[in-house]
Amino acid sequence: MLAEERGVLGQWIVEVMRAEWASGLDIGDQQVLIDIGEKIGLDRGSLEQSFVNPAYLKQLEDNWIEAQELGLIGVPSFRVGDELFWGSDRIEYVLDHLNDLRLKKC
- For the stretch 17-66, pLDDT in tens is 999 989 999 999 999 999 999 999 999 999 999 999 999 999 999 999 99
Span 63-90, pLDDT tens digits: 999 999 988 887 788 888 888 888 776 7
pLDDT recorded at residue 103: 59
DSSP code at position 74? S
Mean of pLDDT values over 90-97: 85
Residue whose C-alpha is closest to residue 75's, from 20, 38, 30? 20
Cis-peptide into 76, omega within 30 deg:
yes
Q: Could you give the CA distance from residue 3 to residue 6 in angstroms, rounded to a whole number?
A: 5
pLDDT of residue 96: 87
Question: For residue 63, what pLDDT is reported?
Answer: 93
